[in-house]
Each structure stands twice: as C-alpha cells, then as structure tokens.
Amino acid sequence: MACHARISTPTAQLGLPELQLGIIPGFGGTQRLPRLVGLTKSLEMMLLSKPIKGEEAHQLGLVDSVVSPNDLVNTARRWALDICELRKPWIKSLYKTDKLEPLGEAREILKFARAQARKQAANLEHPLICIDVIEEGIVSGPRAGLWKEANAFQGLLFSDTCKSLLHVFFSQRATSKVPGATDLGLMPRKITKVAILGGGLMGSGIATAMILSNYPVLLKEVNEKFLIAGIDRIKANLQSRVIKGKMTEERYEKAMSLLSGALGYEKFKEVDLVIEAVIENVKLKQQIFADLEKYCPSHCILATNTSTIDLNLIGEKTKSQDRIVGAHFFSPAHVMPLLEIVRTQHTSAQVVVDLLDVGKRIKKTPIVVGNCTGFAVNRMFFPYTQSALLFVDYGMDVYKIDRACTKFGMPMGPFRLADLVGFGVAVATGMQYCRRSQSEGILQVRG
Ligand SMILES: NC(=O)c1ccc[n+]([C@@H]2O[C@H](COP(=O)([O-])OP(=O)(O)OC[C@H]3O[C@@H](n4cnc5c(N)ncnc54)[C@H](O)[C@@H]3O)[C@@H](O)[C@H]2O)c1
C-alpha cells in the first residue's frame, strides 16, 4: 500500500489478517487502508481479518488495475514508467483523504466498530487497540497514526494473546501432518457411501454434514418412529440454513436426495464408511460392531462417535481392530469444526489417512488423537466441569458459575452446555470417565 500504484490479478487475495494473530497491521497498514478503501470497509477487513479478491479490491480502490497473470509484470512495468515520467499521477496513499469519511461520521463508525468488537470478544484488547490507532490517524493525521501504530505493535507482539494465537495458527496447520500416517506416501481411498447408526442428536448432525458435502448417507435407526424423527432432525438442520439464506431450496432438495433410511443391515454391504452414533453404552456398541463386521465389506472403515468408551473395548468382539477408529464429532456436528480422529494402537495408517481426507471434505478440522480417557478435548474439558460441580456442592448458584465463565470468555457456561448436550450424555460420560480414569491411574478428586 506504500507504493504509488498496485496491479493485481482477478483472483489474488488481498487483506490485512494480522488481528487473527493477536497483533495489528504494521508498517502503516492501519493508516493506509482506510485512506484507500474508506473507513467502514477497512475496519471490516482488519477486524474480521477478511481478505478480498482482486476484482473487489479494484472496485474499492485498493488496486489500480486488474489484469491476467500473464500480463501482470508487463502492465506493472508500464504503469511504473508512466508514474516516473509523470504520465500517471504520483499518489501517496498516506496523504489521500478523498475516501475518508468526514470527522463526525468517522467517529460514529469507530464507535460502532468498538461496540461490535466488544460484543464479539469482550476480553480481547488488540481489536480495540487497532481501532484506537486508526482513530489517531484520522483525528491527528497520518504521522501521529504511524507512531501510535508502531508503539502499539511492539506492545502487542509480546502479549500472551499474540503468543497463543500464533500457537493456534501453527497448530492448525500441523494437524494435517501425522507421524506414522501422512508420512508413509499413502493416498486416501475413495469413500462413495456412508452409513450412520443412530439418528439422534449426533447422528443427525453428522448425516447433515455428510450430505452437505455430497456423500450419499444411509441412516439406520431402531424403528420407524425413531428413523422418521432422525430424518426430521436432518431436514430441520438443512431448513434452518435455507431460512438464513445460506442455502437454496434446490440445494436442499439435492442434499435430501442423498439421504436414505434403514432399519436393518441389508444395505450395509454397499458402504465404505460406517459412523456409529448410538447411545453411550458399551454392550450395545460391542454388539453393533460385531454386526457391522458381519454385514459390511472387508475394506469398510468402522468408526464410532463415542465420547468416552475405550475403542479396544468396543471392538473386543470383532477381528477388525485395524479398521476400527474414532470419529468424534462435537455438537452440533454439522456446525462445529473440530473432528477428533481417534487412533488405537491397531488402527491402520490407511484408515487414518482416509478419515483425514473425509474430515477435510466435510470442511472440518480433523485432529488425530490417542485412545485415552476423554481423548484430547474432553480430557481438558472434564476437569473444568468437575470444578464447576464442586462449586455447586459448596452451595454456589449454577447461573453465577456460568456467568463467571462467559465473562472469562467462554461462549457459554458448563451448565448451559450440559443442558444443550443432554444430561443423559453427561451422566453416561461421567460413569465412563470414572471407570477409565481409575484404570489409567488418574487421581480422582471425588467419588
Ligand atoms: N451429545 C453430544 O454432545 C455428543 C458429543 C459427542 C459424542 N457424542 C456421542 O455420540 C453418541 C450418540 O449420542 P447422542 O447424543 O446423539 O445420543 P441420542 O440419544 O440423541 O441418539 C442416539 C440414537 O441412537 C439410536 N439407536 C440406539 N440403538 C441403535 C441401534 N442398534 N441402531 C441404530 N440406532 C440406534 C437411538 O434410537 C437414538 O435415536 C454417544 O456415543 C455419545 O457419547 C455425543
């Protein structure tokens, strides 16, 4: 942006994504972007770390011309020469004012942006600092803005928020590199049909995610009534997208056409992946996996959505340990991005590679975890819930505890979450957690 002109290709992505990393744009980014595209758009681009494409950048004034990749260098050369030889204007973006809103209006826009930033993440400081820095430039001129930006940047660079968000950034990218699986040169196999057992809260969410990504799904339930209820849940999940304008009716029909129901295992001979999402009960799951071994083809991946049960126990009555794996989704499964892929010591690398591929295709962030109590997420989450329950035992109000947690920055408190997830799951989970953690030798604080 410090250049006298910018030339882009139509699909190039342009943006200032620094806030995503807990810092603010440096080297004048906070000062130049508002002067090139106006305050409202620049705030949106910075606060949401949202990039735009070349064409939009051209319309907004961020780039001066959009050309094909082949013409890029030649056009830029010609443009530079034209500027040098004064055939085109010599523009310093830092001193442009034509795109800036009048001061009164600018103050209102900044006030609104502050309120939005507070609403979105009450405890994050750096979005507010970014707004302050932008304001300084608009009120006291770009030089003052540059100084403030440089000082603020230095401070934020060493903040805990920045360190943590950098960690998140690299961790997210590291999830696709799994030692002993992705480094063996294996290619993911094609999954053409998926079966899901259980059309309850989780099964219906998983089925929704699958059909939204064009996987044909066979949903199995125990009886007609439960099957219809499961299909209705999937319909409701999709309908809510149609109502919000995120999906067309046509797309809805297409997704629903990929779904079929079943009460028996006859059609399981056609599936490449089964995801079991029935209630959290060891005996039931053991029986189901023994049945799956009988009815599914020998290459079929046998996945369970269990939150707590040892996968070795679930597969105890089978000889298919190498294709048994955890596919642990989070509620609501069609919305939450995380997918834990639980690998036992017997799960084959091929199965892990296949499931990583499915995870990406259904737009999840898959992480491969070990077959231990609570896997990765619940292993961190259970002690947090236990502490909350301990406070209740001491007589504290559940709403007060939830409020303290949301004030700290959690999207909701542990008790509201328990309501949302269903208390049955919480109780079943608690029993499993106790049993497994005792067998793993984890110290129990209570009971
Ligand atoms: N609720 C959550 O937030 C959550 C999150 C992650 C994982 N899980 C796990 O997902 C699994 C399902 O949980 P849920 O909350 O969806 O339960 P749920 O009670 O909402 O649904 C379970 C469904 O399984 C059906 N079912 C039972 N036996 C069956 C069989 N033999 N064949 C086909 N269907 C059968 C039931 O009729 C019911 O509709 C559990 O293992 C749970 O631990 C739950």
Domain ranges of the chain: 7-169, 194-370, 377-439
| Residue 164 neighbours by CB under 8 Å, 6+ apart | 22
Residue 264 has what DSSP assignment? Answer: S
Cα(425) to centroid(ligand 1), Å: 9
| Residue 414 neighbours by CB under 8 Å, 6+ apart | 384, 385, 388, 401, 402, 405
Cα(419) to centroid(ligand 1), Å: 16
Using DSSP, state whether 96 is helix, strand or coil: coil
DSSP output for 309-375: S-HHHHTTT-S-GGGEEEEEE-SSTTT--EEEEEE-SSS-HHHHHHHHHHHHHTT-EEEEEESSTTT
Can 7-169 and 194-370 be said to share one CATH topology? no
In the chain, % of residues over pLDDT 70? 97
Residue 126 annotated in active site:
no
Q: What is the pLDDT of residue 373?
A: 87
| Residue of 4, 167, 299, 328 marked active site | 328
For the residues 339-358, what does the mean pLDDT come to? 98
Does residue 445 carry a pLDDT above 60? no
Residue pLDDT, tens place only, 243-287: 999 999 999 999 999 999 999 999 999 999 999 999 989 999 999
Does residue 155 carry a pLDDT above 50? yes
Axis-axis angle for helices 377-393, 398-408 (nearest 10): 140
Q: What is the pLDDT of residue 447?
A: 33
Q: What is the pLDDT of residue 441?
A: 61
The residue whose CA has the least distance to atom 1 of ligand 1 is 421
In the chain, % of residues over pLDDT 90? 86
Domain at 7-169: CATH code: 3.90.226.10
Residue pLDDT, tens place only, 432-441: 677 766 666 6
Using DSSP, state whether 172 is helix, strand or coil: helix
Q: What is the pLDDT of residue 237?
A: 98
Q: What is the pLDDT of residue 444?
A: 46
Does residue 427 carry a pLDDT above 90? no
Does residue 426 carry a pLDDT above 90? no
CATH 3.40.50.720 correct for 194-370:
yes
Of 444, 303, 308, the closest CA to residue 373 belongs to 308
- Any residues with Cβ below 6 Å from ligand 1, and which? 197-203, 220-222, 226, 277-280, 284, 288, 305-307, 329-331, 421-422, 425
Cα(278) to centroid(ligand 1), Å: 3
pLDDT: which is higher, 200 or 380? 200
For the residues 58-74, what does the mean pLDDT come to? 97
Q: Which residues pair with 329 in a beta bridge?
A: 339
